[in-house]
Structure 1
């Protein structure tokens, strides 16, 4: 057999994922920005079309459906739209300003699995794409004769036990800068130089509430963040329970105004830098990314609209319209997830797999009662930092009691009864 006679290897299925993307590195972040909307979900087929497929084609289609349900898009909600608007507005206010000095930052607060990271990253990606286009994909601050480096956005995650040194190292890891044997002062200067040379306009530090502020090193990180803000870069901090963490003074959420109320300072305490939280309060605007709720008609309708949009992303062989929104399903799904979008996504993903495997091709309460969402489904969330959401238990309907036989103790067994027998 000649080389030309050999069979041509089949192309890999288009739904297979590529190499893992690490958004905490500049190459990974920029690859994610370019590829985040390129995934093509499985085509919509009905049962007769599916049954006409050859077995191998059918199996490939099932795998494509599983990939689709494992890659459900991040659907916008009224709450996430408000967060995205504020983040993008603050970044644009700073990036297009000709003034020097500190830019107003944003703190995004919310519970675990509520989509804070993805909402912020999507807003940053939209800003970056527009900023690159406006600047013709060149660094407007580049020095003649030097490499044209450009990273409008930097995304890092706070170390579990942060120090100024480890926080600087995380930032420099994003840029791929060498920091071996550097002292803290050198690290801070290198961070400043990296932000400037890459023309970074927004720096995101995720999981910021891993700073507990009971350690002196945590207080030093606050000072470092204030130093970073003087570099004319907009700082976006994302975390769980920010008002109670010490980054700001302890506050309470006002349900009427949908804002956090920060009381005046009464006791500075023993903090080595007692003014740090107050300075952060003045330099940041905080917004809450809340879960869905059932306390008003408007919010109930928003939950229903979200479920209707989610129906359109499912690839089951029965018509999915009304599958999540009809009857008691909205109330059932809210009870299973407390309105947390991350828990809803995991529940629907697991339910779709089961519906495909057992051939029912439909989601209902009976099928979803067989699905459990556990903390192991959210491995990226640190339980010790309060990032794991409360997962409601499955409330199975009570088992029906067997009917008891009639008590015949007092039945008449006299002559009339015997003659009747």
Structure 2
């Protein structure tokens, strides 16, 4: 007779079925949008409670703890809040404009692994959550026999070697549309897809892969500007946009503080008649790493560490494990305040803590942990997408306790003479 308890055969709820969602396809974006923030962390157990589990349950719990550490929720920082608020405001303002013409875009600038993509995608998904609640008031019902897919947000990545054709194909892949053979037909198909699917926001990641010393890159940038005529808000995401050459030919409007790209056009085959003769305008916002040189910056970093600490499920963790003593300064030195590097260090450190039985994070344990950036095949080091990892691995030296002085021969003062 099977003596196994009922939940022994239950489906493990914290494991993913199938590959992760591909946000560059509308189906994958919808899957990610709906499940984001729904992961259920492992329960907190004491060492005694953990030891009392059966070997199988203990192994499952350890796997759940590992899943918890690598699926920590996206934490808002003062830097990401500034970016997200500006982006959500821009999307909402542009979405409710009635007049035709270009929509002001947004450029999100920052270093590699600083959370630009996740911040932008989360802000876009939050906007879509609201926009989908009201879209039935703006759109007719489904038409039988047609493919009516509402795609308010489209996210794609610029190919490593950017060309107008490559960008068009990346955008069409979002909708699952076929690729026409000629560039003119590709551009026409992109414009039709954005209109037909009522796309309000178009996010183009890795924009600084455009080098602009090649004619294809310059034509690709011109095509991106022309897409602003489609009543769509362009969100361009890239590493070191000011230093990439992407802003060449643009200027800052002193009245609005926005970057303006003049509508002169290069006359390429894809260049279509624009709806207006106004410049293409972008705001640029920086997503910076944490700053450890000011009281406000230190406080923000400590708050972030406290949020991470609250999500950890190490058996010997304690309040202040990441925020007290020399640990915050050590973590900042290892990561330079870059949230992506900090996340990887904590993930790998937790794995090491579980495997060794240490079950807590200390500078000494983290000093033995190498920061692994994972699969970098889809990143372009030449565009700054792979950050330099600080080589600081030595834990902070603990202050040596001063040895007490031998006081045996000290004069104690007026002691009574022997025999008194």
Normalised TM-score (structure 1): 0.83
Alpha-carbon separation, structure 2, partners of 1:216 and 1:280: 24
Cross-structure match for 2:254 = none
Cross-structure match for 1:127 = 127
State how 1:33-44 maps to structure 2 within 5 Å. Answer: 33-44=33-44
Instruction: For residue 243 of structure 1, give the secondary structure of its aligned residue in structure 2.
Output: coil
The 8 Å contact of residues 142 and 149 in structure 1, kept in 2 or not, is answered as no
Alpha-carbon separation, structure 1, partners of 2:278 and 2:390: 35
- Give how far 1:142 is off: 6.5
- Give how far 1:43 is off: 0.8
Alpha-carbon separation, structure 1, partners of 2:362 and 2:259: 44
Alpha-carbon separation, structure 2, partners of 1:321 and 1:398: 20
Instruction: For residue 230 of structure 2, give the secondary structure of its aligned residue in structure 1.
Output: coil
Asked whether 1:310 is paired with 2:280, we answer no
State how 1:72-87 maps to structure 2 within 5 Å. Answer: 72-87=72-87
Alpha-carbon separation, structure 1, partners of 2:148 and 2:372: 46
- Give how far 1:244 is off: 1.3
- Give how far 1:12 is off: 2.4
Q: Decide whether aligned partners of structure 1 residues 198 and 35 sit closer, same or farther in structure 2, where only a CA change above 3 A counts.
A: same
How many residue pairs get aligned? The number is 379
Instruction: Give the 4+ runs in structure 1 shifted more than 6 A.
Output: 260-265
Asked whether 1:238 is paired with 2:237, we answer yes
More off after superposition, 39-48 vs 199-208: 39-48
Q: Decide whether aligned partners of structure 1 residues 47 and 379 sit closer, same or farther in structure 2, where only a CA change above 3 A counts.
A: farther
Cross-structure match for 1:405 = none
Cross-structure match for 1:15 = 14
State how 1:204-223 maps to structure 2 within 5 Å. Answer: 204-223=203-222
1:349 counterpart (315, 339, 347): 347
Cross-structure match for 1:411 = none
More off after superposition, 44-53 vs 362-371: 44-53
The 8 Å contact of residues 141 and 197 in structure 1, kept in 2 or not, is answered as no
Alpha-carbon separation, structure 1, partners of 2:163 and 2:134: 37
- Give how far 1:249 is off: 3.5
Alpha-carbon separation, structure 1, partners of 2:163 and 2:101: 25
Cross-structure match for 2:418 = none
1:283 counterpart (281, 301, 306): 281
What are the ranges of 5 or more consecutive residues in structure 2 without an aligned counterpart? 251-256, 272-276, 399-420
Instruction: For residue 283 of structure 1, give the secondary structure of its aligned residue in structure 2.
Output: strand
- For residues 136-166 of structure 1, give each alpha carbon's deviation from its aligned partner in whole angstroms, at most 9, with x where no partner exists: 4x87167855443200000000000011111
Instruction: For residue 311 of structure 2, give the secondary structure of its aligned residue in structure 1.
Output: coil
Alpha-carbon separation, structure 1, partners of 2:260 and 2:37: 43
- For residues 306-361 of structure 1, give each alpha carbon's deviation from its aligned partner in whole angstroms, at most 9, with x where no partner exists: 00111001011124320100101110000000000000000000010111111111
Instruction: For residue 106 of structure 1, give the secondary structure of its aligned residue in structure 2.
Output: strand
The 8 Å contact of residues 312 and 320 in structure 1, kept in 2 or not, is answered as no
State how 1:319-358 maps to structure 2 within 5 Å. Answer: 319-358=317-356
- For residues 384-420 of structure 1, give each alpha carbon's deviation from its aligned partner in whole angstroms, at most 9, with x where no partner exists: 22111111013326999xxxxxxxxxxxxxxxxxxxx
The 8 Å contact of residues 317 and 359 in structure 2, kept in 1 or not, is answered as no
Cross-structure match for 2:274 = none
The 8 Å contact of residues 141 and 199 in structure 1, kept in 2 or not, is answered as no
Cross-structure match for 1:140 = 139
Q: Decide whether aligned partners of structure 1 residues 108 and 296 sit closer, same or farther in structure 2, where only a CA change above 3 A counts.
A: same
- For residues 37-66 of structure 1, give each alpha carbon's deviation from its aligned partner in whole angstroms, at most 9, with x where no partner exists: 221111111111111111111010000001
Q: Decide whether aligned partners of structure 1 residues 377 and 352 sit closer, same or farther in structure 2, where only a CA change above 3 A counts.
A: farther
Normalised TM-score (structure 2): 0.83
Alpha-carbon separation, structure 2, partners of 1:301 and 1:141: 50
Q: Decide whether aligned partners of structure 1 residues 219 and 147 sit closer, same or farther in structure 2, where only a CA change above 3 A counts.
A: same
Cross-structure match for 2:363 = 365
State how 1:22-421 maps to structure 2 within 5 Å. Answer: 22-136=22-136, 140=139, 146-180=146-180, 182-249=181-248, 282-376=280-374, 380-396=378-394
Q: Decide whether aligned partners of structure 1 residues 231 and 85 sit closer, same or farther in structure 2, where only a CA change above 3 A counts.
A: same
